[in-house]
Amino acid sequence: MKIGCIQLNVRFGKVEENYERAEHFIREAASKGAEIVVLPELWNTGFALEKLPEIADKEGERTKEFLQKLASELGIHIVGGSVATEHDGKFYNTMYIVNKEGELLSEYNKVHLFRLMDEEKFLHAGDQMNRFKFEDVEAGAVICYDIRFPEWLRAHALDGAKVLFVSAQWPTPRIDHWKTLLQARAIENQCFIVAVNRISKKVENFNGQSMIIEPWGEVLWTGAEDEELAIIDVDFSKVDEVRTRIPVYDDRRPSLYAGVVEE
């Protein structure tokens, strides 16, 4: 499948500009043959958390309509990154997954809130997995800080995911952590990782370097340090090949792990 990764330059708090840029790149990706397109984290607002009462998407209605309309019109699956939403007076970091028929497959609220960016002061955490299927490809998706919790991504892989999408706003000072963690998650779960970071060098410091990593841990593509659309052809059949050669899932001993890992 051809995957379009949109490494967007998210404008801090400028909602209209962000929707316009997202649509531009989604349409460009479709015109270049992408079958799946992936957006970064909080692409509608950036980390303008203090402004959420004015700019968050109420009930996520605008974003859902926006993604579903484009998906059905262009015939493209969309991993909708994440957007700031408001539900019953509470704010969330929400990801929507839409298939090429325009059907909403999954809705995910970020589970692990990042204290270094004060997310827990403004946002409420989710408590559900994000599992879905694009045609015959089993998939899952998480948001940014989630990748520091290997058991969370393993839960998605154990549930059948062969590709894990990651939408992020990962800052430049810790970009080496980003690269290492993503490779580790691909290797240990024997799955593809498709991770899209954002760009911003003004109000916030994010330098992209989005990545697609195959199940052996080989990096198929790394984004530049600027706004970019990349389309990469991925062969998901490689997952079964790797899992057959090194049968990690068959050799697991979960009865032992329960007594070691505490909540």
Hey, where are the domains in the chain? 2-252
Please state whether the predicted TM-score (pTM) of the whole model is above 0.85: yes
Does the pLDDT of residue 259 top 70, yes or no?
no
Of 41, 119, 138, 214, the catalytic one is 41
* pLDDT above 90: residue 93: yes
The predicted pLDDT at position 205 comes to 87
Q: What are the pLDDT digits (tens) for 171-190?
A: 999 999 999 999 999 999 99
Tokens of 245: 């050669």
- Distance of CA 149 to CAs 46, 82, 145, 192, Å? 23, 19, 8, 17
Reported as a pLDDT band with limits 50, 70 and 90, residue 35 is very high
User: What's the CATH number for 2-252?
Assistant: 3.60.110.10
- Band of residue 204 on the pLDDT scale cut at 50, 70, 90: low
**Known catalytic residue at 144:** yes
> With 80 as the cut, is the pLDDT of residue 258 above it?
no
Burial grade of 221 (CB within 10 A; 0-12, 13-18, 19 or more): middle
Q: How confident is the model at residue 252 (pLDDT cuts 50, 70, 90)?
A: very high
Mean of pLDDT values over 65-82: 98
pLDDT value at position 203?
59
Which residues, 6+ apart, have CB-to-CB distance to 33 below 8 Å?
2, 231
Catalytic residue list contains 41: yes
| CB 175 within 8 Å of CB 207 | yes
Mean pLDDT computed over 68-88: 98
Catalytic residue among 35, 100, 107, 110: 110
| pLDDT tens-digit readout, 109-123 | 999 999 998 999 999
Instruction: Provide the token pair at 232.
Output: 């990469």
State residue 200's pLDDT score: 83
Alpha-carbon distance of 75 to 52, in angstroms, equals 32
Q: 28-42, 55-69, 76-90, 200-214: lowest mean pLDDT where?
A: 200-214
Using DSSP, how many helices (H) and how many strands (E) does the chain show?
A: 9, 16
